Amino acid sequence: MSAGKNPYQRYYILNACFTNRQKPEWTKEELIRKLNENDFAVSARTIDNDLSAMRDDKRLGFFAPIKFCRKAYAYHYTDPEYSIDKLPLTSDEIEAFELIVESFKRFRGAQVFKNVAGIFDKLDKVVKQQAKPKKGEVTYSVVDFEKVPNSKGIEHFDKLHSAIIKQQPLLVAYKRFDQPVRDHVFHPYLLKEYKFRWYVLGYSEPSRKKIILALDRIENLTIKKIPFKPYTGIDVQKYFDHTIGVTVNADGVKEVQLWCSVSQGHYFKTQPLHETQQILSDDATGLVLSLQLVINYELLQTLLAFGAEVKVLKPASLQQQVKDMIVRGMKLYELNPS
């Protein structure tokens, strides 16, 4: 590993040397060898720079008490109790770690994340121990994240994650709602989250095309020892760039124009409906937006949720779909007037 990469790892290795009770003093040559043993190819100049940074760099905040002893021709900590592991967190660091820990909780239940769950549990405890409120400060968490429900199918996340990385085909037993289980010889490419549900994009041999499977409808999956079919087409990470949700159809991307009320327009200006959003007009009559999107069911759901605040201007086919959905909804209430 080159010296320029992962300087923090080097700092912790140097710290481990100086906190070694049996050998607290280290020559520069010994430090170089120690770093080499840990796959860091370093020079004497790198050691000088690292020691200087640990001593004086205000951004690091270590202020390590490193001193050079001319008699022993070696470096050591003047405070035998010092360690960068024992440094207290700053208030900014505590606030940042609180957000990280809360964000991580959305992945609870996935086996692949259980390997690091203990780290976040420890970090959570450290933050709570060090985040002692000062007089006049609140004692509760001031960030309330959207609650993540227990998601069925998350137990398959780790196997799919591993199969994508290792390019391993899978035999997937998949059950659509109200349909019998169907087996797919499946080549997975990408995991996608939408509204707290997980999906996987891949190539299905029975369907002879790319499909998207919902993890909560997977009954079972096992490794299939056959050649892997690589992903073809545009960059896989751009596959969902023009979708709201996870459904991508053969019709491709269309220009969608929407009229929004003045009040709803304020929200779309501060938080766009989609990253392709462009404002065509903005006046006292409302806001007109243009978006480049795939027309799918999730888009319909999103538009219907805005009620009378948003109207589809084009394409005409999408406008008709929204009208039909509204009419069907009205009929439900006509049949049940109470």
Query: According to the model, what pLDDT value does residue 226 have?
Result: 95
pLDDT tens digits, one per residue of 27-84? 999 999 999 998 888 999 999 999 999 999 888 888 999 999 998 899 999 999 899 8
Q: Rounded to an integer, what distance in angstroms lies between the CA atom of residue 167 and that of residue 228?
A: 6
Query: According to the model, what pLDDT value does residue 195 have?
Result: 87
Backbone angles phi, psi at 308, to 5 degrees: -80, 0
Backbone angles phi, psi at 168, to 5 degrees: -110, 120
Query: According to the model, what pLDDT value does residue 1 have?
Result: 47
- Classified as helix, coil or strand, 182 is strand
Query: According to the model, what pLDDT value does residue 92 have?
Result: 62
Query: According to the model, what pLDDT value does residue 167 have?
Result: 95
DSSP H helical ranges for the chain: 7-18, 28-37, 44-56, 91-104, 111-130, 157-166, 262-270, 297-305, 316-335
Measured between alpha carbons, how far is residue 170 from residues 159, 161, 296, 314 in Å? 9, 12, 28, 41
Query: According to the model, what pLDDT value does residue 133 have?
Result: 59
Query: According to the model, what pLDDT value does residue 240 have?
Result: 93
Burial class of residue 42 (count of CB atoms within 10 Å of its CB; 0-12, 13-18, 19+): buried
Q: Rounded to an integer, what distance in angstroms lies between the CA atom of residue 61 and that of residue 72?
A: 28
Query: According to the model, what pLDDT value does residue 106 have?
Result: 58
pLDDT tens digits, one per residue of 132-170? 556 666 666 666 666 666 678 888 988 999 899 999 999
Q: What percent of the chain has pLDDT over 70?
A: 78
Query: According to the model, what pLDDT value does residue 332 have?
Result: 87
Measured between alpha carbons, how far is residue 191 from residues 13, 54, 151 in Å? 36, 40, 15
> Which segments of the chain have a pLDDT < 50?
1-2
Query: According to the model, what pLDDT value does residue 110 have?
Result: 57
